Structure formats: C-alpha cells, structure tokens
Amino acid sequence: MKPFLGKHLALKMALLMALFSLIFLVNPCGAAVDASAEDNAYHYMKNVIDDQLYQEWWRFFVQDNETQIMLLYLLSDPDNISQSRKIEVQALAMQEGLPAAFGAHQSGGFGGDRRSPMLEIDGSGFSPQGESDLHVWGSVEGSAAGGEAISWDLTFQPLASPWFAVPVQAHLGHIAGDWIKWLVYMPSSQVRGSLTIGNKSLEILGKGYHDHAWGRFDLANIRMTTAWAAEPLDGFSLSLGEITGEQRLAFLWVEKEGKSIVFPQNRVKLTEIGSYLDNETGHAYPSTYRIEAESGEHKLNFTVNVLRTEATILDFKSPETSQTIFHQRSLLQGNLTSRSGEAYEFKEEGISTFWAAPPLPSRGEMDGESVISPNGALNLSAKNQSL
C-alpha cells in the first residue's frame, strides 16, 4: 500500500484540504485554529464596493475583585463613506457600591500597523510589550453631566494561547454579502497596571480577556451575546459568543490545564431565561442564560447569572439606529465532564455582554419585571440583581 500513498499523496492532500474547507463553510466555529500577533493587527483595506459596512473592534475586559473594566476600540466605516463614521474609544468601569464610570472619545482618524497588534486613537491605544504582552492605555472624558475623566494604563500578559473563534469569513445574513471574522487573542490573561477615575487612582492586579473582530456588516442592527470567565489557578478559561439574525453564528471554547476544547456551533444551545426592561433605552436584556453544549468527548452545562448591568450606546446618524450594549458582571456556574469520567465544576465571576438589536420590544412582550434605572445620565443605566 505504500506505493499507492506516495503516488497519490498530492491528490489526497488536495481532497483533505477541500474537506476542511467544506467543514469550515458549514460550521465556521467547529475547530480550533491557531492565531498569530499579525492576526491581531488592524485589517481595513479599501475595496470600493462596500467600505461603508466595514467594522473592526478590539475589546479588553478586566476582572479585579470588586472592580470590572470594559474597554472598546472601534473602527466603523473608517473612510466615512456613509457620513456616519465612528472611530471611537469607550471605557466603562464598575466598582462595588459605587456608580459606574463611563466615557467615550470620538476621533477623525487613527494610526496602526497591519503587521502587529498596534493601534492608536488620539492618545488611546495598545501595542506589543515584550514577547507576548500587550500594553493598553488611554483616557476619555466622562460622558455624563459632571462625569469624571477615566484613564488607564494596563499590561495584559497572556495565560492561554490565542485562537480563531471564527477563522473564515462567516455570513451573518443581515444584508447580502456580509461577513465577520473573530479572534479571541487572550482567552485568559493576567492584568496589572492602574485605573484612574477623576482624581482617584486604583492599582489593578487581576485577570483579563481580549478579543478582536472585523468584517463587513451592519453594526447598528447586530444582536449578539458574549460571555467570559477564567480561573488561572485551575488553568481554566471559557469564551462564548453568539450572533443571531437571518443566520446563527456561535462559538464556545474552553481551556483546562493546557487542553483546548472547541464545541461545534450546531452543538451549542443558548437559552435566555427571564428578562429585564431598561426604561432608559427601551431595550430588554436577559437576566440569565443557560448554555448546553457537546463535543465528541466532552459535555458542558452552565448558567450565566447577571449580577449587575450597565447600558452604553453607540450613536449613529439617522436613518441608522443606535446600538445599545449591555455590559454585565455575571456569575458563570456549571460543570465540564468527559466520556472518561473526569469532571470539573466551576463558579466564577466573569463578564458578559448583550448587544440589543431593534426593533424595540413593547412592554406587553416582556416576560420579566421592569427595572427603573437609578442613574439617568447620558445613556448609562445601572441595575443590580442578586442571585
């Protein structure tokens, strides 16, 4: 049989590559794909066809005991073809027992490198530090009336390898020809540095997450759920994402003690249980998520219980609708089991997000209670729910 293998090796390899391509087209989130630092660089290139639909974001999350930080660096229609360009930095900080601090800065331009993870927007940005770390810094004015300025100077040190959650251009189905790619560059990391709100500075030493997505799609109308949690001492991290619309796109990845487990999207079931109405934005958001997933060797069942929610808004010019993002401090609790009988239980605080797409729900459609926001300033609402 050896001569047969040698004679037809090229043909067999071609068939194998075609099979892999077919698998990715059918299920673009079905296998782990390694990524490099260059993949985390910005990717915008003009095609003179649908450049107005180009979107690219980098998100950084920090969990440090009773402090959570969510950072967003966004490029939306960078050449302003639609006259609704957004080159923006957003920062949200939540501290136990205190009102949330939120700020945003919009710019007319940005600088970056297509070969390395480096971006700058008017004094806020990120760049490589050492062999694998990322230095993340910035400052924004407080967006609420009388709100305090927010600045940060952080270093993200990876504790898990990057992976492509969506490695190929996956069609979303909202508009013809739309697509997205999604890179989870740091599923788990150690974060150290400082956060300053007004004249008060905090030393940060916690755990973090960083992802990066880009493509050509309608950002204002996307409906998306993400969740993340990690326990570095156990070598555990979990990353979840789902976009729903005309087509569903989902990924779920777990790392445990150096072993990566990817759950195919057609074996990932996300159920929203209960909801709250944000009176300020008019949008509803889930109060609990239940996730059930299977791979060839593992089962994963867990819940995401929302503990606190803060709503921020990406404003677009009419006729585009605004995008409401609910940032959530959440408790992720569940178990991972294998066919061989191994089991791991986890109960970790993490961060989830819910990007609410129009149309706005009516009160009669809500199945949960109405929550009145105690903070009426500048599209920032604060709710606290207990388990």
Q: Looking at residue 375, what is its pLDDT?
A: 33
State the Cα–Cα distance between residues 105 and 332, nearest whole angstrom.
Answer: 32
User: For the structural domain made of 39-384, what CATH number should be given?
Assistant: 2.40.370.10
User: What residues have CB less than 8 Å from 47, skipping those under 6 apart?
Assistant: none
First vs last Cα of the chain: how many Å apart?
63
CA 308 to chain centre: 17
State the Cα–Cα distance between residues 72 and 312, nearest whole angstrom.
Answer: 11
Local confidence pLDDT in tens for the 387 residues of the chain: 333 333 343 333 333 333 333 333 344 554 556 788 999 999 999 998 899 999 999 999 999 999 999 999 999 999 999 888 999 999 999 999 999 999 999 999 999 999 999 999 999 999 999 999 999 999 999 987 668 999 999 999 999 999 999 999 999 988 889 999 999 999 999 999 999 999 999 999 999 999 999 999 999 889 999 999 999 999 999 999 999 978 899 999 999 999 999 999 999 999 999 999 998 888 999 999 999 999 989 999 999 999 999 999 998 877 677 899 999 999 999 999 999 999 999 999 999 999 997 754 444 444 444 333 333 323 343 333 333
Using the Cα atoms of residue 150, residue 153, residue 155 and residue 161 in order, give the sign of their dihedral.
positive
Whole-model pTM: value is 0.85
DSSP collapsed to 3 states, 138-170: EEECECCCCCCCEEEEEEEEECCCCEEEEEEEE
Of residues 303, 325, 316, the one with CA closest to residue 223: 325
CB 230 within 8 A of CB 254: no
> Side-chain half-sphere of 379: how many Cα atoms within 13 Å?
18
| Residue 228 neighbours by CB distance under 10 Å | 28
State the Cα–Cα distance between residues 40 and 57, nearest whole angstrom.
Answer: 10
Per-residue pLDDT tens over the stretch 117-128: 999 999 999 999
Q: Looking at residue 316, what is its pLDDT?
A: 82
State the Cα–Cα distance between residues 278 and 115, nearest whole angstrom.
Answer: 41
Per-domain residue ranges of the chain: 39-384
SS3 348: strand
Upstream peptide bond of 286 is cis (omega within 30 degrees of 0) = no
User: What residues have CB less than 8 Å from 242, skipping those under 6 apart?
Assistant: 224, 225, 226, 248, 249, 250, 251, 268, 270
Q: Looking at residue 35, what is its pLDDT?
A: 85
Q: What is the longest distance spanned by two Cα atoms in the chain?
A: 78
| Residue 338 neighbours by CB distance under 10 Å | 15
